Structure 1
Amino acid sequence: MAKTIRIGTRDSELALWQAHTVQDQLNKLGYKTELVSVKSTGDLILDKPLYELGITGIFTKTLDVAMINGTVDIAVHSMKDVPTQLPKGILQGAVLPRAAQEDIFVFKGEKTEAAFEDATTIATGSLRRKAQWLHKYPKHQVVDLRGNVNTRLQKVADNDWAGAIFAKAGLERINLKPENHIVLDWMIPAPAQGAMVIAVMQEDSFCREACAKLNDKNAELATRVEREFLRKLEGGCTAPIGAYAKIKDEHIHFHGALFSLDGSQKMEIEEAIPVRESQDFGALCALKILESGGRELMETIKKEL
């Protein structure tokens, strides 16, 4: 008899939406499933910025352990939260069709982004978003913002900040995108932002075969390029890195950047190559940045964190 696939997920509203989406798709294919929710360290420790916690994959580690221990069979993640190096024995089972990759700014009152030339305070828990905002608005103050989507939206309402930065896909998925927002089309997203990934145990051929049926090849290719860029640049260190790849007319168009923590320095690259030549494309783009001063900037970032 076919086994029931136990789907591991964090217990936030967004994580549960993602897990239910995968569950529904597997059920439609005839598989039996059940959800198993766990709380991650990243959900429990909310009084420190993520980069101060010093834990790689803080939102995914608990589910990794649950998979290795046999408590769950597969895990569903926002792909941007997943370390580029997966734990031994765990594979990327599928990348689902990608949602919006953009960041948006949720503002308070009647303000728009054009009104932000004067000094003001905005909130984000992301080094990447903070660095890019300060690059564009060096007079602004950026404060840390942690918690799940619902908690962060409430904190925006409760504080006197001008607003805060969110991933567009996350708010759209749980119908929480407010009217008072601006799409930040100038901000380079996090690698794999807007994509959902299913992790599966290498030895579990039944779940590997089931998950493979949900894989979107274009999303898999684009996110692979972005995560290659991230892995090559970071070298195990958290840094303000943006990367976005899109496939158009059989070409991969890539835009990536590395910023200093204060946003004063920006090193970026934009290139396009045929899809058939995509092997190591992300890593090669990262190498060009490293060889143009990126190594020195990464060393500075490591010392400052």
Structure 2
Amino acid sequence: MSLRIGTRGSALALVQTENVVGMLADRGIEAEVITITTAGDTATHVPLHAIGGQGVFVRALDDAILRGEIDAAVHSMKDIPAARPAGLTCSAVLERDSPADFLAYEGPLDAVRIVGSSSTRRRAQVLRADPTLEVKQLRGNVDTRIRKLREGQYDAIMLAEAGLQRLGLQLPGEALPTDRFVPSPNQGTVAVVCRDDPEITGPLAALDHAPTRLDVAIERAVMEEVGGGCFTPQGIYCRDGDLIAEVLALDGSRWERIERHVATPEEARECGRALREKAGDLIREARAALGLKS
């Protein structure tokens, strides 16, 4: 059997996809890699919330699956929005890599004044840690972000540590603690999405890592109840059922937080509803500030 696996064309996306192809090869399954350009790859000059949020990296690949041009696609799972098209399924969630954010900087830490990030969550968490910092927009692939750091456009930039590890990059800086810089839901996780067809889902299911799937399902359940996707400054992280979830003001001055042990996605939904109730004002303020409808 041979599968057509779609991916974005960034170096990180290609590395993640080649890893999946290698895992399939180990199981005697051939796969062809097909590169597809997404809206998120072409519109790098504007914030994500202005062009539709994290779903812009996924939509073109979803459409290609549904048109029959590819059989499956590999994604950073944090890019997959809550609402999914009919006819698709997440056939495999790979074992999670580091969920942490990485703060990369080349000079002394106490000289950092300007931090680059396009994430509302990272912006809010940085400003909570140090309100005197300036957070400036930073889009583009990993190489582009690192180049801008080295050109001196920023004193530091924030990246997902897992992406650096997958690319084999070692940068000066430090991983940030997940209890204070709570990661984006599903950060550090790779998912394989495919057409809901047993001939395709069967071979791919062999790559699934059940403990990671449960943790990220808990995170997504909270995310869906809180709402807002990447528009809301929210961190949601679960490890072995230990859940931390928070929503912040855009300037990091206020936040609401829940820490609980959760056994099922159903319990996680209760936590998400409780957090949304506590953080309703913060969510509305963030959306208004970003020019989004409530």
| TM-score > 0.5 by shorter chain | yes
CA deviation profile, 1:174-229 (whole Å, cap 9, x unmatched): 11131x11111121001000000000111x21110011111000000000001111
1:304 to 286, 289, 292: 289
Q: Which residue of 2 aligns with 1:282?
A: 268
Q: Tell me which of 256, 260, 263 is aligned to 2:249.
A: 260
Post-superposition shift, 1:300?
1.7
- Structure 1 residue 11, shift from structure 2 partner: 0.8
Q: Deviations over 1:142-190 (max 9, x none)?
A: 0011111111111111124221011000001011131x11111121001
Partners in 2 of 1:134 and 1:296 — Cα distance?
19
Structure 1 segments unaligned to the other structure (5+ residues): none
Q: Which residue of 1 aligns with 2:219?
A: 226
Of the candidates 141, 149, 156, which is equivalent to residue 142 of structure 2? 149
Counterpart residue identity of residue 295, structure 1 = G
Name the structure 2 match of 1:211: 204
- Judge conservation of contact 1:237–1:302 (CA < 8 Å) in 2: no
- Counterpart of 1:68 (choices 62, 66, 69) is 66
Tell me which residue corresponds to 1:165.
158
Give runs of aligned pairs for residues 85-164 of structure 1, distance below 5 A. Answer: 85-109=83-107, 111-112=108-109, 115=110, 120-164=113-157
Q: Does 1:201 align with 2:167?
A: no
Name 2:174's counterpart in structure 1.
182
1:22 partner SS: helix
Deviates more, 1:141-150 or 1:54-63: 54-63
Question: Which segment is superposed worse, 54-63 or 134-143?
Answer: 54-63
Deviation at 1:255, TM superposition (A): 0.5
Give, in angstroms, the shift of residue 291 of structure 1.
2.3
Matched-pair contact (CA < 8 Å) for 2:222–2:269: yes
1:39-94, CA deviations, whole angstroms, 9 ceiling, x for partnerless residues? 11111111111112135501111101111111110000000111122111111111
Deviates more, 1:51-60 or 1:8-17: 51-60
Any conservation in 2 of the 1:106–1:163 contact (CA below 8 Å)?
A: yes
TM value normalised by structure 1: 0.91
> Which of these residues, 248, 255, 258, is aligned with residue 269 of structure 1?
258
Q: CA deviation at 1:24?
A: 0.7
d(CA) in 1 for partners of 2:250 and 2:85?
Answer: 28
Query: What CA distance in whole angstroms lies between the structure 1 residues aligned with 2:234 and 2:43?
Result: 24
Task: For 1:133 and 1:282, locate their aligned partners in 2 and report how far apart those are by CA, in whole Å.
Answer: 26
Cross-structure match for 2:238: 245
Large movers: runs of 4+ above 3 Å: none
Task: Determine if contact 2:148/2:154 at 8 Å carries over to the other structure.
Answer: no
Given that 1:168 and 1:177 are in contact with CA atoms closer than 8 Å, whether structure 2 keeps it comes out as no
TM-score (norm. length: structure 2)? 0.94
Identity %: 32
Residue 72 of structure 1 aligns to which amino acid in structure 2? I
Q: Does the 8 Å CA contact 1:255/1:269 hold for their aligned counterparts?
A: yes
| 1:188 aligned partner, one-letter code | V
